[in-house]
Amino acid sequence: MKDILIKIYRTLYQTYGPRHWWPGETSFEVMVGAILTQNTSWRNVEKAIQKLKGKGVLNPEGIHHLKRSELARLIKSSGYYRIKTDRLKSFIDFLFEEYDGNIKKMGRERLGELREKLLGVKGIGPETADSILLYGLKKPIFVVDAYTRRILSRNGIISEKASYEEVQKLFMEYLPCDEKLFNEYHALFVYLGKTVCKKIPRCELCPLRDKIGNKKWEMESRKVPHL
């Protein structure tokens, strides 16, 4: 399994190159984006982010002091904006209660303990929590999303019914515990899922097509450097 996962990564990296994901000027912006991107496209999230920036409130203090009605108006483009207003406010309350609103202080918390605390925040599930940890705080944890599941299941590596924890365990156990590797790997899955491995797949364009288990591919993939 370790060899397969590394070979998949090398093939995708060689094909698509670095993805420079997650887009965001600050750690806090990444965290806000991770909450707002639930059940919507990134394009819609970007509109909301820009409105928060334009209002000068894309920081813990700014959102903390915003009225819910005003925050809802600013993030309306992200969809389900009333629910996301509650979730964002819950996260901000958590940030101030636990870390005095200080992102750096939050980042000093141990990974396992911080993850458990994040999962206790209303509206934050495993994928959002791990996105905050990996992309916002640069902690070594693998993010699993719908693209990850789709790509792995279509290639016969996991069952379609595999749980979040089961999929994540594959990467955490068989790959080096490296934040940059986890970041790039997940970003490559996102790109492949958006462009090729869609709900209606474009298998003829997939760089992984007919390669898993192919001995020639296994030999060639050793020559490709990875992070």
Do 104 and 39 belong to one domain? yes
Count how many domains the chain has. 2
Name the domain boundary from 99, 118, 136: 136
Do 174 and 114 belong to one domain? no
Do 49 and 129 belong to one domain? yes
Does residue 81 lie in a domain region? yes
Does residue 226 lie in a domain region? no
Name the domain boundary from 87, 109, 136: 136
Measured at the CA of 145, the angle between CA 143 and CA 151, to 5 degrees, comes to 110
b/e per residue 114-152 (b: at least 16 CB within 10 A):
bbebbeebeebebbbbbbbbbbbbebbbbbbbebbbbbb
Does residue 227 lie in a domain region? no
Q: Dump pLDDT digits (tens) for 120-166.
A: 999 999 999 999 999 999 999 999 999 999 999 999 999 989 999 99
- CB-hemisphere CA count at 13 Å for 59? 7
Do 67 and 101 belong to one domain? yes
pLDDT of residue 221: 45
- For residue 23, pLDDT over 90 is answered with no
Asked whether the beta carbons of 217 and 8 are under 8 A apart, the reply is no
Name the domain boundary from 136, 171, 189: 136
**CA–CA separation, 4 and 213 (whole Å):** 8
Q: Dump pLDDT digits (tens) for 55-71.
A: 999 999 999 999 999 99
Percentage of residues in the chain having pLDDT higher than 70? 93
pLDDT of residue 45: 97
Q: Is 210 helix (H, G, I), strand (E, B) or coil?
A: coil
Residue 171: give the domain boundaries. 2-20+143-221
Asked whether the beta carbons of 192 and 12 are under 8 A apart, the reply is yes
Do 129 and 188 belong to one domain? no
